[in-house]
Amino acid sequence: MSKTASQTESSPRTFDAALAELESCVRRLEAGGLNLTDAVVAFERGVTLQQECQELLDATERRIEELTPPPPTSA
């Protein structure tokens, strides 16, 4: 059950969607039974999704830092 190139390259729009797809890739790999080609495709997609999740988390952290006022300085 391999995906088309456009499905593999498309990115989920939300962190939750990316994480859910990543978890699905992990379950497929852990379950075994994939042929080598499908296992490599699932692994590659998992790496891409992990990177995307990390980028979304980093962007969220930056946004929170921008919205949070700095602590008062004691002088």
**Total number of domains in the chain:** 1
CA distance 34 to 28: 8
Residue 49 has pLDDT above 90, yes or no: yes
49-54 average pLDDT score? 96
Q: State phi, psi for 73 to the nearest 5 degrees.
A: -90, 140
pTM, to two decimals: 0.72
Read off the CATH number of the domain in which 20 is found: 1.10.287
Q: Using 50, 70 and 90 to split pLDDT, how confident is the model at 70? A: confident
Give how far the C-alpha of residue 47 lies from the chain's centroid of Cα atoms, to the nearest Å.
8
Task: Tell me if 27 is assigned to some domain.
Answer: yes
Domain residues for 10? 5-67
pLDDT at 63: 95
Phi, psi (rounded to 5 degrees) for 64:
-65, -40
Task: For residues 9-30, give the mean pLDDT.
Answer: 88
Count of all residues that appear for the chain in the document: 75
Residue 73 lies in a domain: no
CB 18 within 8 A of CB 49: yes
